[in-house]
Structure formats: C-alpha cells, structure tokens
Amino acid sequence: MGLLSKNRGALLILVFNLFLVFSGIGLIVPIMPKFMESLGITGGIMGLLVAAFSLTQLLCSPLAGRLADSFGRKRMIVIGLTVFAFSEVLFGIASSPALLFVSRLLGGISAAMIMPAVMAYAADITTKEERAAGMGYINAAITTGFIIGPGIGGYIAEFGIRVPFYAAAVAGILAACITLLILRESLPSKENIADTSSDVREWGGLLSQLRYAYKEPYFLSLIIVFVMSFGLANFETIFGLFVDHKFGFGPKDIAFIITFGSIAGAVVQATAFSWIMKRFGEQRIISLCLIFASLFILLTLFVHTFWLIFAVTFIIFLAIDILRPAISTQMSMVAKDQQGYVAGLNSAFTSLGNVVGPIVAGFLFDLDVNYPYTLACIILFLCFVLSVKGKKNNSQKVNATS
C-alpha cells in the first residue's frame, strides 16, 4: 500500500517524465522519411543519427549516475528535461544534417541524465517489497512512450512536419517546471555529503567505471543488460526487413505485430510484474526470460504463416519486457547507497547494446537473412547459461555464510 498511497504522487511524476521523453524519441519514426527527403539525407546518415543518440547516452550515463548520487536526483531530472526540450527545438528548426546530429547528441545526453536519476529516485521511495512494482511502472512508461510516440508524431504532423518537435519541447519544459515545483528530493543531505567522498574510481570516466564494474556483485546483471539490449536492437532493427524479404509482409502487418507485442508487454509490467517477481524471484525470472527469448527467436527462422509469426514475436517481446525491469530490480537490491551509480551503469550497458546491436545485425543481414537471429539466439542462450551459473554461485555463498 505504501507505493500506491504515500509515494503515489512522486511515482506518477517520474512515470510522466519517462513517458514524455520516450514519446519524444518515438516522434522521429513517422516524420523522418519526409525529413530525409527534404534535407537530402541518405539511409546511412539516418543510421548514424540513430546511433548518435545511443552513443552520447552511453558516454554520459555513468557520470550522470554518480552526479545523481551526489548532486541530487531531482536536480538531474530537471536539467535533463530542459536539455531534452532544447534538443527537440533544435530538431524542429534544423535545415541541415549537422543540426540534426547536434539535436540527437543532446537528446542522448538528456536521456543519460534522466534515466539513472529516475531509477535511483524510484529505489529511494520504495521498500524492497515495493521495488518490483515501482520498476514495473517505470519500464511500462518507457515501453508505452515508444508505442504512443510515433502515433502522436504522425497525428500532430498533420499541422506541420515540424510541429511535433515543438510540441515535445513545450511538454518537456512543462514537465521540468512540474518536477521543480512539486517533486521533493529523495536523497537525504547526509548521503549527499557521504557520497562525495566515495571511492575515487566512482568519479572516473566511462572506461574507468566499466573497467571496475567486473568486480561488482551486479556485473553479471550488467552483462545480461548488454546482451538483452543487443538482442532487442538486433531483433527490432532487422524484423521489418526479415519478414519483408522472407514472407512479403507489408508495413501494416509489421506495425500490427510490433505494436500489439509492445502494448502487451507494457500491460504486464504495469499490472502483473510485481506478482510475478514475488511468486518466482528475480533470478528465476531472468533465467526463464532469457531461455524463452532465445528459443522463440530460433523459432522465428522456421515459422511461415502470419499468425505463427505473430505468436512467436509476441512471446519474444513479452519475455524481454519482463526481463528489463527484473534486472533493474535485482541490481537495485544490491546497490545500497550507490543507486544512481548502478542505474548509470545500467543505462550505459543498455546504450552500448543499442549502438552495437543494429550495426552487427545490419552487417549479418547483408550476408544472410537468417544470420542476425541465429546470432541473437546463440548469445541469449549463452547468457541463460551464465545466469544459471550465477544463481548457483549466489546459492553457494548464502550456504557458506549461514
């Protein structure tokens, strides 16, 4: 009841902020074809624009996570929303690819500032019993934003091709003002002071933090985060080309499959995720989701009818949508007073997967239409084996200390 009553207002503001940001990111989907045509942008530049966002998010996430621990969650969220609004304005006024790149780079920075701070804030205001539900709501907001963003962008674009970006900028400023005036800081001042004297390695750059990450108890979870985002980016990047080349599916067929699977995942995250976590536990859920995703991606290579493709894809999306908050919950449990730092690493490994996944998938697709999904299946299965070994190691440590 604590999550649904005492901290309901704060959680709603966090959910709204994430929904807004990821809806703004999704706005680009239906509008970019006309931008590409009007500005003479090639497909290669379009791919680089997508990678630019994930790259700056990757580079800035660890530092942003540490700043959330020392500078304050609320302050980072407000600044991130302001940067997000400015990036949307730049995209709206852009008349050259160079300005579009600046906009996307700033967009990645804003996401890096917002995501770790929001995750850390959610961990601050929830008990261990409430943590899964809080992470479920947050990840549902992200998923829903990705689903609704393109639809909103397509509708608002009827008033002008650049209007959606201005609308997103106004909403970003509005969200920043609401956060500044209403949301209370969740990080106690004494923790602020303590964190500033933390181990110097936590203040290091991205490479330094990634180098030390392997020593942490949540390193396996970070590897799973990378593999998950790599697999998801791999799957989504190639899915349209895959079913077009192999089955002749049209845009409406592809949109229906992806949208329905994403909506179902968001519903599960918002409603049943907490019960699932309490019933089976984080470690078991992570292992089950990895093996299901691996097997059903493999099945994608052998099914042929529309409804079989739909069913298989539905299971894949559902498994990944449950896996994401499960890993976030598991890492938040061991992060203790480093919630922002761990959330920053979580975001960094996610971005790394989002950068590498589409590049590798595209290269493999040029070689053979089946290669990207074959690789995704193998990697997810190996990750499943790692998660099972990690579970056994944790059990042995618990038995040794008891």
Q: Are 348 and 210 in contact (CB under 8 A)?
A: yes
Instruction: Name 233's Cβ contacts closer than 8 Å, sequence gap at least 6.
Output: 353, 354, 356, 357, 358, 361
Same fold flag, 7-185 and 204-396: yes
- The reported pLDDT for the residue numbered 2 is 46
Architecture of domain 204-396 in CATH?
A: Up-down Bundle (1.20)
- The reported pLDDT for the residue numbered 87 is 93
Topology annotation, domain 7-185: Growth Hormone; Chain: A; (1.20.1250)
CA-to-CA distance for 296 and 301, rounded, in angstroms? Answer: 9
Q: How many CB atoms lie within 10 A of CB 39?
A: 14
Q: Are 386 and 263 in contact (CB under 8 A)?
A: no
The two structure tokens encoding residue 229? 């985002």
CA-to-CA distance for 254 and 124, rounded, in angstroms? Answer: 39
- The reported pLDDT for the residue numbered 35 is 66
Q: Are 218 and 331 in contact (CB under 8 A)?
A: yes
- Report which of 126, 186, 128, 140 is spatially closest to residue 3, judged by C-alpha positions: 126
- The reported pLDDT for the residue numbered 82 is 95
Q: Domain map of the chain by residue range?
A: 7-185, 204-396
- The reported pLDDT for the residue numbered 1 is 42
The SS3 of residue 58 is: helix
Exposed e or buried b for every residue in 118-139, given b needs 16+ CB within 10 A? bbbbbbbbbeeebbbbbbbbbb
The distance of Cα 69 from the centroid of its chain, to the nearest Å, equals 20
| pTM, to two decimals | 0.63
CA-to-CA distance for 388 and 287, rounded, in angstroms? Answer: 7
- The reported pLDDT for the residue numbered 38 is 74
pLDDT along the chain (402 residues), means of 10: 58 81 68 66 66 81 81 89 94 87 91 85 76 73 72 73 86 88 71 40 52 64 77 70 73 66 73 80 85 91 86 84 77 68 73 77 79 87 81 52 46
DSSP state string for 279-324: HH-HHHHHHHHHHHHHHHHHHTTT--SHHHHHHHHHHHHHHHHHHH
Q: Are 277 and 285 in contact (CB under 8 A)?
A: yes
